[in-house]
Structure 1
Amino acid sequence: MAEDTPQNGTPNGTQNGATNGQAAQPVQPRMQVLAQFIRDLSFENAVAQKGAPQGEVQPEITVQVSLDARKRGTETQFEVISKYRVTSTNKADGATLFLAELDYGGVFQIDGVPQDQLHAFLMIECPRMMFPFVRRIISDMTRDGGFPAFNMDPVDFVALYRQELARRAQAQNQVPADQTPS
């Protein structure tokens, strides 16, 4: 049986993928990674500089993460920078064993994300896309610096984003002491 094709060339009376009376589908969010790069990289091997620590070494590693995003020259391009600071200290005496710092950036083309959701998208999805590369760089850096490779645990960027929002809300609610009403 042949399919009815009206004069507009679309089967069964549809136009642009929508049937009569239905709205067109909303634009799906789309992200394209245009570039990734190391903005800054630093590794300090304190053990090599100061000599091996005396006694038993019990390394304790802390990771600090901060994020920043800004609009680029065009309307839908953004640069996202994730900053990682990995510090290894000896639990026994608190002496620093190594310090690794990495500022890693990405340039993203983002379309179809509503304006009220764009900040969250930039601070969660973009760093999540870059994380495997960051993890590999830090792992290689610690290994090449003379330590066992540090395989960083995945970062919960949603929790990090929520913490930052809570911190900002708390900072806005605090009134400086010299501005309190008398």
Structure 2
Amino acid sequence: MAENQQENGATESAGAAAPVKMNVLAQFVRDLSFENILAQKGSQGEVQPDVQVQVNLDAKKRSADHQYEVVMKLKIESKSKGTDTTLFILEMDYAGVFHVENVPEEQLHPFLLIECPRMLFPFARRIVSDITRDGGFPPLNLEMIDFVQLYRNEIARRQKQQAATGGGEQKLDA
């Protein structure tokens, strides 16, 4: 009996020190829209684009054990400097299905919204570059996104919103 307890204790210790395991099981474009507004209206001379990029992240548990779906939602709008005329709008939801093990529960939310998007970003970046090029514009190569800072900003925004509403506890979706 004492021998059994020692084995269980050793197993629990080894389980706590187990390395984090993450595999990308699938990645795909869930939704994609590109509007070349400049071509629809007709071009009028030289334009200097001003590109705005919005990034939203979402993560949810899937029915299978240790599987999560993470979605990176990009909205890219290019306007002409000076005239504020819209040149193009690109909206894309790029998703990945991940198998994640050995991440402590309190660290799972940041892991899913920081590390998983880091894995997806190079592929989403290439798609954005190809779509803008195929849409009649120079390829748009997105700069690297600091997902840690993006996560911190979202946490701060939610805390500020919670304080402003004076509401109860607000749950962060994962």
Bucket of the pairwise TM-score, normalised by the shorter protein: 0.7 to 0.9
Distance 1:144 1:85 in 2: 17
1:59 to 15, 32, 49: 49
CA RMSD of aligned residues (A): 1.5
Q: Deviation of residue 172 (structure 1)?
A: 0.7
Give the secondary structure class of the aligned counterpart of 1:154: coil
Q: Structure 2: 5+ residue runs without aligned partners?
A: 1-6, 167-174
1:66-96: CA deviations, max 9, x gaps?
0000000023100000000111100020000
1:118-154: CA deviations, max 9, x gaps?
0000000000000000000000000000000000001
Q: TM-score, normalised by structure 1?
A: 0.82
Give the secondary structure class of the aligned counterpart of 1:107: strand
Aligned to 1:108: 98
Give aligned pairs, total: 155
Q: Structure 1: 5+ residue runs without aligned partners?
A: 1-14, 177-182
Aligned to 2:26: 35
Percent identical residues: 56
Distance 2:152 2:82 in 1: 34
Aligned to 2:164: 174
Is the 8 Å Cα contact of residues 62 and 88 (structure 1) preserved in structure 2? yes
Is structure 2 residue 146 aligned with structure 1 residue 156? Answer: yes
Is the 8 Å Cα contact of residues 124 and 158 (structure 1) preserved in structure 2? yes
Q: Which amino acid aligns with 1:142?
A: T
Q: Which amino acid aligns with 1:170?
A: K
RCO higher in 1 or 2 (8 Å CA, sep ≥ 6)? 2
1:45 to 20, 24, 36: 36
Distance 2:47 2:23 in 1: 45
Is the 8 Å Cα contact of residues 56 and 92 (structure 1) preserved in structure 2? no
Distance 1:56 1:37 in 2: 36
Distance 2:94 2:132 in 1: 16
Q: Which amino acid aligns with 1:120?
A: P
Q: Deviation of residue 175 (structure 1)?
A: 2.9
